[in-house]
Amino acid sequence: MTARIPATAGPFVLLAAALVGFAAVAGDDPEFDRYFTDKTMRVDYYHTGDATHEVLSLERVVSDGPWAGPRMNLIDDTNFGKYFYEVYDLDSGALLFTRGFATIYGEWETTGEARTTHRTFHESVRFPWPKGPVKVVVKKRDDLTTFHLIGEFEIDPESRSVNPADPPSLGNVWTLFEHGPPSDKVDIVLLGEGYTAEETEKFHADARRLAEELFSWEPFKSRRSDFNIRAIDLPAAQSGVTRAHSERYRRNLVGTQYGIFDSERYMLTYDNRTLRDVLSAAPYDFMGILVNEKQYGGGGIYRTQMATAVDSDFSDYIFVHEFGHHFAGLADEYYTSDVAYETGAVEQPEPWEANVTALHDPAALKWADLVEPGTPIPTPWAKLAFEEHSQQIRARRAQLIEQQAPESEFDALFHEQREIEARMLATQEYSTAVGAFEGAMYEPTGLYRSSIDCIMFTRDEVGFCRVCRRAIERVIDLYAGR
């Protein structure tokens, strides 16, 4: 017997209901087969608003190819994401599928521009193709981490407005490695952007290099057999992508570019519709755009998209760091760099990201089980010395920008910065401890990271800290069926 669960219920109410057998299908294949077919439904919509108001409006519902996600773990219990979507069977009220995610809109609304103008961004949610009518509910987390309804769509898969035709392939798909069927593995697809047809082999080499870099770090290294990785060749007319700050423009199909939110090295695409059409050629849960550029740059948004320039001296680091954002919703732990977002809140709300805390209650630290007895909370570190060093680096970087210095001079500065910070952070009393180190997520005070160093904090070759590794493993388990 199934019970109707209100569409206004939060994800944890829904999860609890699922666990006691109300309306969950996150169990076995017969339940999947009861409600779904092995096909992916993609709901495309527009997200419009400003810093205080927003609205969702449906654009289209289309097939996104075969279902590549799990058939077992259909209910997302990670609690990651600024947004959350739920899919209900319309007749019975049964909860069929949920996922947390983040969006470009969710980042843009924190910029100064959002206080003075409206903008519209294209977004998508994906889930197994339902056999009957469903309601898709989209929610947003407030500062108290409670989810509130911001939009819902009722969808009948038999409606004339729903297009079940298989999508055309817009690129050539090839496999880096495959360890099992998509439903049992985490599927990643890498897309080449800004590579001409003559540079196809370069893309293949770049994709293999960066994939191997990701799987050289834990926990990806130990969990390699839980992944499949494929790639898509998408030849461009010209090498590279748009770099508006350098007054160089391209019209690549996916539209990846530098200068997102007018931040010179922030790289993503605003064209979600085309991106999803291209990605539909391959089974995927997560993705990465590899950009044929030398200038340092990249970006990553949880379960939405990520991009990295492939020929920077720090491309390996950027790829792994940005994939941490995209894959597990990890927060930036650095706080001394210039960013596009507005900062300086009087009192910080508790972040949803697993690796950062506002530490409102030290006794309830969300990674307390990883803290060794005797480690002070907050945890002391050479914060002032680090900030003085960072200020010097920022001043020198500003001079290079003003001089329009070649990229090699920026790389040299970043190498110097990495060497100094690695020595500084590795020699402190709690350098190997899990604690609560003040300074994180663009804020010098009021937010804390779990370790003194991590790939989410600096460019040092330290990999993911223990808290970040645990968050990554939770996502692997969700998609690999454990």
Q: What is the secondary structure of 75-95 as a DSSP string?
A: S--S---SEEEEEEETTT--E
How much is the pLDDT for 468? 98
Instruction: Give the pLDDT band (50/70/90) at residue 347.
Output: confident
For 391-440, the pLDDT digits (tens) are 999 999 999 988 989 989 999 999 999 999 999 999 999 999 999 999 99
Residue 144: band (very low, low, confident or very high) from pLDDT cuts 50, 70, 90: confident
For the stretch 368-397, pLDDT in tens is 999 999 999 999 999 999 999 999 999 999
Residue 154 has pLDDT above 60, yes or no: yes
What domains lie within the chain, and their CATH numbers? 11-165 (2.60.40.3250), 172-328 (3.40.390.10), 356-464 (no CATH)
At residue 244 the predicted structure's pLDDT band, cuts being 50, 70 and 90, is: very high
Contact 438, 448 (CB under 8 A): yes
Return the structure tokens found at 247.
């007054």
131-143: per-residue pLDDT in tens? 999 999 999 999 8
- What HEC string does 395-410 produce? HHHHHHHHHCCCHHHH
Return the pLDDT at 23: 36
Residue 19 binned pLDDT confidence (cut-offs 50, 70, 90): very low
CA distance 217 to 212: 9
Higher pLDDT, 345 or 300: 300
Pairing of strands 186-193, 227-233: parallel
Q: Which runs of E-coded beta strand occur in 245-403?
A: 286-291, 298-301, 305-309, 356-357
CB-based contact 173:180 (threshold 8 Å) = no
Residue 75 has pLDDT above 50, yes or no: yes
pLDDT at position 342 = 54
Please state the pTM of the whole predicted model: 0.91
Mean pLDDT across 283-306: 97
Quick one: pLDDT at residue 143? Answer: 84
User: In the predicted model, is pLDDT for residue 28 greater than 70?
Assistant: no
pLDDT at 160 exceeding the cut of 90: yes
Starting at the edge strand found earlier in the chain, the sheet holding 227-233 runs 172-177, 227-233, 186-193, 286-291, 305-309, 298-301
Report yes or no: 195 and 202 within 8 Å, Cβ to Cβ: yes
> Is 126:40 a contact under the CB 8 Å cutoff?
yes
pLDDT for res 404: 87
In this structure, are residues 269 and 307 in contact, taking their beta carbons and an 8 Å threshold? Answer: yes
Name the amino acid, one letter, at 64: D
